Every structure is written in C-alpha cells, then in structure tokens.
Amino acid sequence: MIGQGQVVKVGIADMNTVKAPDTIRTSGLGSCVGVVLYDERSQIAGLVHVMLPDSSLGRTETINIAKFADTGIPAMIEQLKLEGVQPFRLRAKIAGGAQMFQFTSGKDTMRIGPRNVEAVKEYLKKFSIPIVAEDTGGSSGRTIEFNPMTKLLNIRTVNQGVKDI
C-alpha cells in the first residue's frame, strides 16, 4: 500500500471522513449498505454505514442520522463540505445490501437489503452524485475499505474472496 496511513473504522449506523494517506473501513455489511463519497482532487472521502432506507422507520424520538439513507447521505455531504470538498466533485462507490435471509412471504418490509440499495441510489441521484462502481445484492456479508489515494474500494465478501472496484 502506498503511504503508511491509519485505518479509520466506521461502525454500524455510523459515518466518518478520511484524508489520504489514511483509509476508511467498515465491516458487518449484510443488508446494510456502505456508501463511500469521495473527491479525487482533494483525496478526501467519507463513509456512511446505512442500516435502513428511511428515517420514518425509526422507532425512537431522537434519530441517528447515519443509520438511514435519507438522512445519512445529506449529512455526509455536509460533513465533506466542511472539510473543503466541492459537492459537484463527489463520486460514489457502494457495497452491501445483501438479502441475508430468505423469507417465504413476499412482504416488501423484509427486503431490507434491496430497499437499502434502492434508497441509497435514489438519494445519490437526488444530489447528482454519480455511482462509479458498486457491489450490491447477493446473500453474503462484506467488509469494505476505501483508499482515497488510489480511489479503490477493497471488498472482502464472506466465502467469495477479495476484489477491488
């Protein structure tokens, strides 16, 4: 790896930013979606670990903004703006959104992984952020690590090995 940076870890339903040579990682991406927003020029990136598609699904009065696609993505854009990133330069890479359990009922509420992916794509489109690469769906969990210097998203998928997108 180029440079000897630190690995910034992002927990479930959390978010953080990083500047090269540091990298940013999250694990536990089952039906959750890891959304990496990055600016190639400044080598700054942010990662949101989205757990649910919509904050209206929250069951508490105070919401964790990083937990939901509709609140986490705008919050990450604002955080990156504070770091000096121009929003029009942002690009996205996404991973996760697996269907971890097979249900016999066709209920939409049980399709959390696919619904998370749809919501993430909807909000990225709303903010005119192009998705450069994605590794979504399937039925296996993932750990992802993004390097803002190389712009590569390293994905380790359970029982399927490692790849860079």
In whole angstroms, give the CA distance from residue 113 to residue 96.
8
1 residue type, one letter: M
Under DSSP, is residue 161 helix (H, G, I), strand (E, B) or coil? strand
Rounded-to-integer distance, Cα 123 and Cα 107, Å = 23
Catalytic residue, from 32, 51, 69, 124: name it: 32
Residue 74 designated active-site: no
Does residue 16 come out as left (phi exceeding 0), alpha (psi in the -120 to 50 range) or beta?
beta
Examine residue 21 and say whether the peptide bond preceding it is cis (omega within 30 degrees of 0).
yes
Helices (H), 20-156: 69-82, 112-126
155 phi and psi angles, rounded to 5 deg: -120, 125
Instruction: Characterize the bridge pairing of strands 44-50 and 131-136.
Output: unpaired
Which positions are catalytic? 32
